[in-house]
Amino acid sequence: MSKHKISFNVDVRERVGTGGAREARRQGFVPGVLYGGDLAPVAINLKKAEVIKAIETGQFLNATATLIHKGEKQLVIPQGIQMHPVSDQPWHVDLRRVEPDQIIKVEVPVHFKGQETSPGLKKGGTLNIVRHAVELNVPAAKIPEYIEADISALEVGDNIKISDIKLPSNATPAITDRDFTIATIAGRGGKAEEEPAAAASADAVPAAKAKAPAAGAAAPAKGAAPAKAPAKPAGKK
């Protein structure tokens, strides 16, 4: 479950500020800032083609990358990227320095397996995904590409929680105060299916015909409230 290898060949940008960033873009670079650790922030230029390639991996913000400058390498993790509102091209990148064994918090996608054999899905249930990704605390150099949720034995009404997923030995959930749900198998229609059945059952019982008052029955006393009229037979207005 290793991630795609992402690397950036960078140059230090001597001119900072808006003017320096604009000049970098004219020359085909994406301006960025490198910060973190014990060193001061540094303005850098990244090759646009390398940034686009990293974005296309789908893992740009949840994977580490290697920064290369004059043969020296630095492990980083992207912290943010700005895209141009019109061209949708990368406009600015923020990178943070990390050490290989440094514990960082990242979002890791959840992949589901066992849909073909899940008895709940075979009965018409649906997979209701609560979390498509889970935040993990993990060493920077050992971020898993994904974690796997096995739903092959789930029935309708069952769920799979984070405790049901086998995590890498060096990874722990960022949420620690509860055993949160990853996905459930929901019944098709839920209560909406029960209501027509209940209505059909009620309709199957014939409505009782109202009986006429017995002959000679005493009339209500003067001033007493009139008796309620008997209910009409079902189906008649």
Residues 48 and 114 in one domain: no
Residues 89 and 113 in one domain: no
Examine residue 153 and state whether it is found in any structural domain, yes or no. Answer: yes
Nearest to 77 by CA among 92, 91, 60: 60
Residues 90 and 114 in one domain: no
pLDDT score for 228: 46
Residues 89 and 108 in one domain: no
* Terminal C-alpha separation, the chain: 70
pLDDT score for 15: 85
Residues 54 and 109 in one domain: no
Arithmetic mean of pLDDT over the chain = 82
Examine residue 232 and state whether it is found in any structural domain, yes or no. Answer: no
C-alpha span between 20 and 18 (Å, rounded) = 6
Which CATH number fits the domain that encloses residue 14? 2.40.240.10
Examine residue 234 and state whether it is found in any structural domain, yes or no. Answer: no
Identify the band that residue 4 occupies on the pLDDT scale cut at 50, 70 and 90.
low
Identify the band that residue 234 occupies on the pLDDT scale cut at 50, 70 and 90.
very low
Phi then psi for residue 135, to 5 deg, are: -80, 125
C-alpha span between 135 and 118 (Å, rounded) = 26
Of 79, 98, 117, the last residue of a domain is: 98
Residues pairing with 95 in the sheet: 34, 78
Of the chain, the percentage scoring pLDDT greater than 90 comes to 68
The one-letter code for the residue type at 37 is: G
Nearest to 60 by CA among 30, 99, 18, 38: 30
Examine residue 124 and state whether it is found in any structural domain, yes or no. Answer: yes
Number of other CB atoms surrounding residue 100 within 10 Å: 10
Which CATH number fits the domain that encloses residue 180? 2.170.120.20
Of 40, 67, 98, the last residue of a domain is: 98
Model pTM score: 0.69
Residues 94 and 14 in one domain: yes
Examine residue 194 and state whether it is found in any structural domain, yes or no. Answer: no
Q: Which domain holds residue 14?
A: 7-98
Residues 59 and 75 in one domain: yes
C-alpha span between 200 and 83 (Å, rounded) = 57
Of 140, 159, 186, the last residue of a domain is: 186
C-alpha span between 176 and 219 (Å, rounded) = 75
Alpha carbon dihedral 212, 213, 214, 217, in 10-degree steps, equals -170
The one-letter code for the residue type at 86 is: V
| 104 within 8 A of 98, measured Cβ to Cβ | yes
Residues 136 and 181 in one domain: yes
In order of 2, 212, 224, the CA distances from 232 in angstroms are 74, 12, 24
Span 111-160, pLDDT tens digits: 999 999 999 999 999 999 999 999 999 999 999 999 999 999 999 999 99
C-alpha span between 112 and 121 (Å, rounded) = 13
Examine residue 165 and state whether it is found in any structural domain, yes or no. Answer: yes
Residues 78 and 14 in one domain: yes
* R_g over Cα of the chain: 33
Q: Is 62 left (phi over 0), alpha (psi -120 to 50) or beta?
A: alpha
Residues 83 and 155 in one domain: no
Span 177-224, pLDDT tens digits: 999 999 999 987 543 333 333 433 444 444 444 444 444 444 444 444
Q: Residue 67 above 80 pLDDT?
A: yes
Number of other CB atoms surrounding residue 197 within 10 Å: 9
In order of 38, 43, 75, 80, the CA distances from 96 in angstroms are 11, 12, 9, 10
Examine residue 144 and state whether it is found in any structural domain, yes or no. Answer: yes
pLDDT score for 150: 97
Total domain count, the chain:
2
Examine residue 147 and state whether it is found in any structural domain, yes or no. Answer: yes
